[in-house]
Amino acid sequence: MTPTRYDIAIIGGGPIGAALALALPSKGLRICVLANNEPQNKALRPIALSHGSQLLLERLGLWHALSPQTTKILNIHISEKHALAAVTIKAQELQLPALGYVLDYSLLSQCLSQSAQKAHPDFRLGCKVLSLAPHEGGATVHYLEENQAQSLNCRLVIVADGGALINDNPTQHVDYQQCALTARIGCDHPQPQKAFERFCQEGPVALLPFGEDLALVGTVSQERAEMLMRAEPPIFLQWVQSCFGSRLGKFTHLADRATFPLTLHYQKPGYAHLSKTPIIRIGNAAQRLHPVAGQGLNLGLRDAWALARFIQTTEPEALGSAVTRHQFEKIRHSDRTASIAFTHGLVRLFSNDWPILTQARRGALFTLACFSPARNWLAQRMMHGVYG
Ligand SMILES: Cc1cc2nc3c(=O)[nH]c(=O)nc-3n(C[C@H](O)[C@H](O)[C@H](O)COP(=O)(O)OP(=O)(O)OC[C@H]3O[C@@H](n4cnc5c(N)ncnc54)[C@H](O)[C@@H]3O)c2cc1C
């Protein structure tokens, strides 16, 4: 049987694949989404959506449903343990309704996926893509659907699989040799709608407002993560207390602990010309970042939005060509490179005990504390990327 032919096949129905499917027109182009709905990791992954992402979700018609399930961030307090300088970035100073919005990954993913399923009849759940094979004018996608081997042909494959699919993609890779530790915690002196980013010896630790509670996202060594995952709740809370001091009172309860490995992973520039397969990668499939400053999903949403707009102005026959793919790579280059450099730079600057770096970060915090243009620059970067 000849495989079905599509213009575009999107691999992955996570937040970024689903957002792209929603942003693309359902008429005019033949689009298929292959979404692996294996039982998802339900571990708590608090996501801070930027103001820019909120605007994109509003354009996709989802904000109305999501908004009641999010917690607003009105202020962000940034400080370093054992140092005096601290900075507070305020939504009010920037004349914004909020600096960001916190919600759990699985809720966002589910909402995007369900809406995309309604918009696209060929959004197929339960499909695990196994391999891609280039051919004249496109590619064949081989996948399993309910354990049956299937294939389809398309002009362009958009990979939004979070970086899971192995192929010929040459990437840059940094293993931070650390874990992200997440948990839901409570305290007896809450400061509603305020987020805290604290740079500690081992790495940054964030507390995000999360309904009535706080969501912790900490960066720790693998050994400490293992110890804290096993520890009795009072020991865990004592560690949080040692990071944040008494500004939130006493930390009182703990739930939903989880860990995630931390790596930086991104494709080398010029990939479009090197790859024989007509692929465009977006979201974590193009770059997986450290969660410090909450950039990964926000950057992925900008990828999806930019790609949808780019596709609408591209002739269907040209979709998979190396020239077209290279053009898209160029469009996203600045935002991606700046976000990678910003995130990686923060990790290196704030997770290091070298005296010269200690001076540099104290100088940076002092500058941010004293000069509102510097604070505005940082806030814009966190909310919109370079060209958001
Ligand atoms: C602890 C933590 C905190 C974070 N906090 C933030 C934050 O505050 N703000 C922020 O912007 N980002 C944050 N991130 C990053 C964010 O989670 C990711 O950037 C985002 O999930 C990427 O979305 P994605 O759709 O590209 O990939 P994923 O979320 O990984 O989704 C990929 C999808 O593809 C599917 N798939 C995989 N392989 C296949 C296959 N072969 N066939 C078919 N389907 C397949 C998967 O099942 C999944 O549904 C955080 C990350 C971590 C670990």
Q: What gap in Å lies between CA 341 and CA 336, rounded to an integer?
A: 9
| In the block, residue with structure tokens 């081997």 | 149
If one counts every other C-beta atom within 10 angstroms of the C-beta of residue 360, the result is 14
pLDDT in tens, 199-222: 888 888 999 999 999 999 999 999
Around 324, how many Cα atoms within 13 Å sit in the side-chain half-sphere?
Answer: 23
Residue of 105, 287, 382 best suited for mutating to test ligand 1, as the one with most atoms within 8 Å of CB = 105
CA of 241 to the centre of ligand 1 (A): 30
pTM given for the model: 0.92
Residue type, 93: E
Contact criterion met (CB below 8 Å) for 256 and 44: yes
Class level of CATH domain 4-47+105-171+264-384:
alpha beta
Residue 165 alpha carbon, nearest atom of ligand 1: 41
Contact criterion met (CB below 8 Å) for 158 and 9: yes
Q: What is the pLDDT along the chain (388 residues), one digit of tens a residue?
A: 677 899 999 999 999 999 999 999 767 899 999 999 765 567 899 999 998 899 999 999 999 999 999 999 999 998 888 776 788 989 998 888 999 999 999 999 999 999 999 999 999 999 999 999 999 889 999 999 988 999 999 999 999 999 876 555 667 777 778 899 999 999 999 999 999 989 888 888 999 999 999 999 999 999 999 999 999 999 999 999 999 999 899 999 999 999 998 888 888 777 766 778 899 999 999 999 888 778 899 999 999 999 999 999 999 999 999 999 999 999 999 999 988 888 887 777 766 665 556 666 666 666 666 666 666 666 666 665 544 4
Q: What gap in Å lies between CA 100 and CA 204, rounded to an integer?
A: 18
Q: What gap in Å lies between CA 290 and CA 176, rounded to an integer?
A: 9
Residue minimizing CA distance to atom 30 of ligand 1: 162
Contact criterion met (CB below 8 Å) for 193 and 77: no
> What per-residue confidence (pLDDT) applies to 325?
94
Domain ranges in the chain?
A: 4-47+105-171+264-384
Contact criterion met (CB below 8 Å) for 240 and 259: no
Contact criterion met (CB below 8 Å) for 130 and 122: no
> What per-residue confidence (pLDDT) applies to 388?
43
Residue 296 alpha carbon, nearest atom of ligand 1: 19
Angle at 357 between CA 354 and CA 359, to 5 degrees: 110
Ligand 1: list residues with CB < 6 Å: 11-17, 34-36, 45, 47-48, 105, 127-129, 160-162, 164-165, 180, 182, 217, 260, 283-285, 291, 294-298, 300
DSSP code per residue over 160-172 = -STT-S-SS--EE
Instruction: Give the C-alpha distances (Å, rounded to integers) separating 258 from 190, 228, 244, 261, 267.
Output: 23, 10, 20, 10, 28
